[in-house]
Amino acid sequence: MTPSERAIAQYILNNESEVIYLTARELADRVGVSDASIVRFCQSIGYSGFRELKLRIALETQASEPHRAHTADASLQGRLDRTFDRAVTSIRNTQKLLSEEQVLCAAARIRQASRVYLLGAGTSGVVARDFQIKLSRLGITALYDEQSQNMAIHMALATPADVVVAFSHSGNTLDIVNLMRTGRQRGAFSIAVTNNMASKIAQVADVLLLTASDELPFHSFAVTSRLAQLLVVDCLVTVLVSEIGKGVNENLEKIAEAVTGLFSGD
C-alpha cells in the first residue's frame, strides 16, 4: 500500500461506525487525501467505489453487534429493545446508502410508465403489494400477484413503455430473477430493490436501489429487511406525490367516494 492508502485503511479501521455516514469527500478531508485517493483505495481492495465499501462495513457492523447483544441479554425486554435497535440501525444505514439520483430516476420512470409490474416473494411480496396499493392511489397502473405463474403471464405482455420493480433481500430468488429477465427481454425498464449489489437482479437492473439490512438467526421473520424495503417504497412515493401535485388529492377524493359508496345504503 502507498502511504495514502495506509492512512485511509487505518482511519476506516479505527472509525467504522462513523465512516458509513460519510461521503467520499468527507472521508478524504478527515484523512488528508484527495477524493480520487479514496476511490482508488476502494478499488484496490476489490470494491467498485466508496458506496460499496460503506455497504459492506454497515452490514458487518450490524451483523456483529446485535448477535452479541442477543446472546448477552435473553430477557424479553432485552429482546424487544434489540428489535427496535436493529430496526433503527437498518433504516439509518439504508438512508445513508440509498442514492438520491437513483431514487429520482426510478420515480420518474415509474410515473411515466404505461404499467408497473411489481415482483416479490415471501415478505418481499408483502412490500410489493404495499407498493401496488400506494401506486394505485396515485393513479398509476400497477400489477402484482403472489403467484409467479400469474406474474409470468402478465410479464409476457410487457412492453418498452412499462417498468418492472423487483424486491428481493438476497437478490437471487430464482422466480424473481427469471421474471425480471423476462421483463428486460420485452424491453421494460427494470428497477431492483435489494440488499445485495452483487446479486443476479442487481446485474439485470437498469436502476439499483440498495438497502442495508442483516437478519439475525430468526431472520425468517424478515424484520429489518422488510422495513428497509418499505423505506425505499416510501421514498419513491414521496417523490411521486411531489411530482404529481394536485392530482394526488383528486385521486384520493375519488377513492374515498368509491369506498364510501360500498357501505352506503344508496
Q: Kindly list the structural domains of the chain, giving each domain's residue range(s) and its CATH number in brackets, ordered by start.
A: 3-97 (1.10.10.10), 100-251 (3.40.50.10490)
CA atoms lying within 13 Å on the CB side of residue 33: 20
Using alpha carbons, select from 130, 139, 136, 118 the residue that is nearest to residue 234. Answer: 130
Q: Which residues contact 6 (CB under 8 A, 6 or more apart)?
A: none
Residue 174 grid cell = 430464482
Give the whole-angstrom CA distance, residue 252 versus residue 249: 5
The residue written with cell numbers 410479464 in the block is 155
User: Residues 35-92: pLDDT tens digits?
Assistant: 999 999 999 998 888 888 888 887 776 555 555 545 555 677 777 777 788 778 888 8
Amino acid at 32: G
Look at the block and give the residue holding cell 472509525.
Answer: 15
How many angstroms separate the CA atoms of 62 and 215, rounded?
A: 9
Q: What is the pLDDT of residue 239?
A: 93
In tens, the pLDDT along 203-256 reads 899 999 988 876 543 344 567 888 889 999 999 999 999 888 777 777 777 777
pLDDT tens-digit map of 99-123? 889 999 999 999 999 999 999 998 8
